[in-house]
Amino acid sequence: MRIRELTPADWPQVWPIVRDIVRAGETFAYDPVMTEQQAHDMWVLRPPAITVVAVTDDRVTGTANAYANRPGPGAHVSTASFMVSAAERGKGVGTALCRFVMEWAKEHDFVGMQFNAVAESNHRAVDLYMRLGFEIIGTVPGAFHHSTLGRVGLHVMYCEF
């Protein structure tokens, strides 16, 4: 598996990953009916932000982006998002993506990384983040309407570098 910056040629393989995850409504508080163009503009970011892909045997198996969590007085803290193809989960793609963007953020002088809205039902993601040094700052009760579980909490998570 290799992680590298996304190029325009990757999008046809990235879009189905984003589409299926957003439509499932289990993990991301994104508009579930967003169009392909909206998804592209939301996910594929320009510098100083970064969008990357995980590639296994020439197939895109996951993607991530990272950027300053807030402008101005909040711009020293980064944030990031991760999506892994359903067929590739449990194989370390998410871990590799998270490690990659954490290194990117450290190299770009961010002092930490914050996740603003991690569905507490997304145990795979929560466990992964905890393993990589994140802590749960707090949980907003019922703030995420999971498509099958109903309302679950949204964790704010943070890792100081």
Residues that bind a second copy (CB under 8 A): 22, 25, 28-32, 69-77, 111-112, 114, 116-117, 136-147, 151, 154, 156, 158, 160
The least CB distance from residue 160 to a second copy, in Å, is 7
The least CB distance from residue 75 to a second copy, in Å, is 8
The least CB distance from residue 155 to a second copy, in Å, is 9
Torsion, Cα of 60, 62, 67, 69 (10° steps): 160
Name which of 71 and 90 has its Cβ closer to a second copy: 71
Name which of 11 and 158 has its Cβ closer to a second copy: 158
Angle between helices 11-24 and 36-43 (to 10 degrees): 100
Q: Are the beta carbons of 64 and 42 closer than 8 angstroms? A: no
Name which of 56 and 116 has its Cβ closer to a second copy: 116
The least CB distance from residue 101 to a second copy, in Å, is 18
The CA distance from 33 to 128, in Å, is: 28
- Would you report the helix, strand and coil content of the chain in percent, each value rounded to 5? 35, 35, 30
